[in-house]
Amino acid sequence: MNKLISNYLFNSIYQLLILILPFITMPYVSRALGPEGIGINAYSFSIIQIFILFAVLGIPLYGNKEIATVKNSGVNNISKQFWSIYVIQVVSSIIISVAYFLFVYFYIDEMRIIYYLQWIMLFAAMLDISWLLIGLEELKKAVLRNMIIKLLSVVLIFSFIKDENDLVNYILIISLSNLIGQLAIWTQAAKYIKKVKINKKLIKAHCKPMMLVFVPQAIIQLYIILDRVILGTMSTEIEVAYYDQALKIVKVTLGLITSISTVMLPRIASEYAGGNLDKIKSYNTLVLKIVVFLTLPMVLGLATISLGFTTWFFGSGYDKVGVLILILSPIIFFIGLSNVFGMQILLPTNQQKKMIFSVSAAAVLSLSLNIILINYFASIATAFATLIAEFTVTCIQFVFLYKYLNVRDMMRNISKYGSVSILMGGILLIVGNLFDNSMYLTFMQIIIGIILYLGVLFLFKDKLIWDVILKLKRGKR
Closest CA to 338 of 408, 409, 281, 287: 287
**Lowest model confidence (mean pLDDT) among 159-168, 208-217, 256-265, 289-298:** 256-265
What whole-number distance in Å separates Cα of residue 308 and Cα of residue 312? 7
Contact 70, 273 (CB under 8 A): no
**H or E, element range at 194:** none
> pLDDT-derived band of residue 9, with 50, 70 and 90 as boundaries?
low
Instruction: Give the length of the chain.
Output: 477
Closest CA to 428 of 321, 309, 312, 319: 309
What whole-number distance in Å separates Cα of residue 229 and Cα of residue 440? 36
Q: How many CA atoms lie within 13 A of 375 on its CB side?
A: 3
Ramachandran area for residue 194 (φ above 0: left; ψ -120 to 50: alpha; else beta): beta
Domain positions in the chain are 2-405
Contact 231, 240 (CB under 8 A): yes
Per-residue pLDDT tens digits for 94-143 = 999 999 999 999 888 778 899 999 999 999 999 998 888 877 877 666 66
User: Highest-confidence range of 34-43, 229-238, 323-332, by mean pLDDT?
Assistant: 323-332
Which pLDDT score is estimated for 271? 65
Asked if the model's pLDDT at residue 4 lies above 60, the reply is: no
Averaged pLDDT, 395-420: 87
What whole-number distance in Å separates Cα of residue 263 and Cα of residue 191? 21
Sign of CA dihedral 427, 433, 436, 437: positive
Which pLDDT score is estimated for 258? 67
Which pLDDT score is estimated for 303? 92
Mean pLDDT, the chain, integer: 84
Closest CA to 314 of 222, 415, 245, 375: 245
**Lowest model confidence (mean pLDDT) among 39-43, 148-152, 166-170, 303-307:** 148-152
Asked if the model's pLDDT at residue 49 lies above 60, the reply is: yes
More confidently predicted of 286 and 323: 323
Burial grade of 268 (CB within 10 A; 0-12, 13-18, 19 or more): buried
Q: Percentage of residues in the chain with pLDDT exceeding 70?
A: 86
More confidently predicted of 224 and 243: 243
Sign of CA dihedral 412, 413, 414, 419: positive
| Type of residue found at 286 | L
Per-residue pLDDT tens digits for 330-342 = 999 999 898 888 7
Asked if the model's pLDDT at residue 246 lies above 80, the reply is: yes
Which pLDDT score is estimated for 455? 92
Asked if the model's pLDDT at residue 40 lies above 70, the reply is: yes
Contacting residues for 133 by C-beta, under 8 A, at least 6 apart: 139, 142, 185, 188, 189, 192
User: Highest-confidence range of 63-72, 161-170, 335-344, by mean pLDDT?
Assistant: 161-170
What whole-number distance in Å separates Cα of residue 23 and Cα of residue 190? 33
